[in-house]
Amino acid sequence: MADKVTNYQCPACTGPLHFDSTTGKLVCDYCGSAYEVADIEAQYAQKQQKADAAAASDEKKAAARRAKAAGEDPVWSEAEASGLSSYSCTTCGAELVCDATTAATTCPYCGNPTVLGGKLSGKLKPEYILPFKMDKNAAIAQLTKYYKGKAFLPKAFKSQNHIAEIQGVYVPFWLFDAEADARGSYDGQVSESHREGDYRVTTTQHYDVRREGTATFARVPVDGSSKMPDEHMDSIEPFDYSELKPFSTAYLPGFLADRYDEDAKTCADRAKTRIENSTAEALRQTLSEYAVVDTREENINVRMKKAHYTLLPVWMLHTRWKEQDFLFAMNGQTGRLIGDLPVDKGRVAAWFARIALPLMAILIWLLYL
Q: Would the pLDDT of 29 be above 60?
A: yes
CB-based contacts of 281-288 (< 8 A; 24+ apart in sequence): 282/182, 282/213, 282/215, 283/182, 283/184, 283/211, 283/213, 284/184, 286/211, 287/186, 287/188, 287/209, 287/211
Which DSSP category does 106 fall into? S
Q: What percent of the chain has pLDDT over 70?
A: 70
Q: How many whole angstroms separate alpha carbon 91 and alpha carbon 113?
A: 10
Q: Which residue has the higher pLDDT, 265 or 165?
A: 265
Find the angle CA(163)-CA(168)-CA(171) to the nearest 5 degrees.
Answer: 130
Sign of torsion, CA 343 346 350 355? positive
Digit-coded pLDDT (tens) for 207-222:
999 999 999 999 999 9
Q: How many whole angstroms separate alpha carbon 211 and alpha carbon 287?
A: 9
Q: What mean pLDDT comes out for the span 270-297?
A: 93
Q: What percent of the chain has pLDDT over 90?
A: 32
Q: How many whole angstroms separate alpha carbon 19 and alpha carbon 27?
A: 6
Closest by CA to 108, choosing from 259, 227, 238, 237, is 227
Backbone angles phi, psi at 110, to 5 degrees: -120, -10
Q: How many whole angstroms separate alpha carbon 298 and alpha carbon 212?
A: 9
End-to-end alpha-carbon separation of the chain, Å?
98
Which DSSP category does 135 fall into? -
pLDDT of residue 350: 53
Q: Would the pLDDT of 186 be above 90?
A: yes
Q: Tell me how crowded residue 286 is: count the other CB atoms within 10 A of its CB.
A: 12
pLDDT of residue 270: 94
Closest by CA to 82, choosing from 61, 63, 55, is 55
Within 13 Å of residue 254, how many CA atoms lie on the same side as its CB? Answer: 21
Q: How many whole angstroms separate alpha carbon 331 and alpha carbon 346?
A: 33
Q: Which residues touch 215 (CB under 8 Å, ≥6 apart)?
A: 179, 180, 182, 278, 279, 282
Confidence of residue 119 (pLDDT cuts 50, 70, 90): low
Q: Would the pLDDT of 164 be above 50?
A: yes
Query: Mean pLDDT, the chain, as a whole number?
Result: 78
Least confident of 30-44, 214-228, 243-257, 343-357: 343-357
DSSP for 260-320 reads: PSS-HHHHHHHHHHHHHHHHHHHHHGGGTT-SEEEEEEEEEEEEEEEEEEEEEEEEEEEEE
Q: Which residues touch 369 (CB under 8 Å, ≥6 apart)?
A: none
Question: How many angstroms from the chain centroid is the CA of residue 316?
Answer: 10
Digit-coded pLDDT (tens) for 354-366:
665 566 666 666 6
pLDDT of residue 4: 36
Find the angle CA(342)-CA(348)-CA(350) to the nearest 5 degrees.
Answer: 140
What's this model's pTM, rounded to 2 decimal places?
A: 0.72
